[in-house]
Amino acid sequence: RIGVVGSGPASMACAADMAKAGCDVTIYEAFHKPGGVLRYGIPEFRLPNYVIDAELSNLTKLGIKIECNVLVGRLFTIEQMVEEMGYDAVFVGTGAGYPRFMGIPGESLNGVLSANELLTRVNLMGAKDFPNQDTPLHLGKHVAVIGSGNTAMDAMRVSLRMGAEKVYCVYRRTRAESPARVEEIHHAEEEGVEFHWLTAPVEILGDGKGNVRAMRNIRMELGEPDSSGRRRPIPLDGSEYEFEADMIVYAIGTNANPIIGQTSKLKLNKWGYIEADDKLATSMAGVYAGGDIVTGGATVILAMGAGRTAAAGMKEYLGIRDSDRVYQQPRGDRMFGIDPNEKNFSRVRLA
Q: Assign 15 a pLDDT band (cuts: 50, 70, 90).
A: very high
Coil, strand, or helix at residue 38?
A: helix
- Closest by CA to 35, choosing from 100, 120, 114, is 120
Tell me if domain 2-97+256-324 and domain 99-254 are identical in fold: yes
The mean pLDDT of the chain is: 90
Q: Which amino acid is at 350?
A: L
Query: 3-class DSSP state for residue 283?
Result: coil
- Per residue in 125-175, pLDDT (tens digit) is 776 666 676 676 777 799 999 999 999 999 999 999 988 999 999 999 999
pLDDT the model gives residue 343: 47
| Residue 285: pLDDT over 50 | yes
Tell me the domain boundaries of the chain. Answer: 2-97+256-324, 99-254
Look at residue 327 and tell me whether its pLDDT is greater than 80: no
E strand spans, 171-261: 194-196, 199-206, 212-225, 231-235, 241-244, 247-250, 254-255
Q: What superfamily does domain 99-254 belong to in CATH?
A: FAD/NAD(P)-binding domain (3.50.50.60)
DSSP state letters, 1-30: -EEEE--SHHHHHHHHHHHHTT--EEEE-S
Flag whether pLDDT at 342 surpasses 90.
no
Instruction: Return all residues near 7 (Cβ < 8 A) that are at least 6 apart.
Output: 27, 28, 29, 34, 35, 36, 56, 66, 93
Give the residue among 2, 87, 55, 80 at the shortest CA–CA distance from 260: 80
Chain center to CA of 290:
12
Which pLDDT tens digit goes with each residue over 247-283?
A: 999 999 999 888 887 778 899 999 999 999 999 999 9
- Among the listed residues 110, 125, 187, the one whose alpha carbon sits nearest the alpha carbon of residue 156: 187
Q: How far apart are CA 199 and CA 178, in angstroms?
A: 13
Q: Is pLDDT at 313 greater than 70 in this prediction?
A: yes
Report the CATH fold assignment for 2-97+256-324.
FAD/NAD(P)-binding domain (3.50.50)
Q: How far apart are CA 151 and CA 160, in angstroms?
A: 14
Rounded average pLDDT over 49-73: 96
157-186: buried (b, 16+ CB within 10 Å) or exposed (e) per residue? Answer: bbbbebebebbbbbbbbbeebbebeeebbe
Reported as half-sphere exposure (CB side, CA atoms, 13 A), residue 61 has a value of: 8
**Quick check: pTM over 0.75?**
yes
Bridge-based pairing of strands 199-206 and 212-225 is antiparallel
Three-state DSSP at 225 gives strand
Q: What pLDDT sits at residue 276?
A: 96
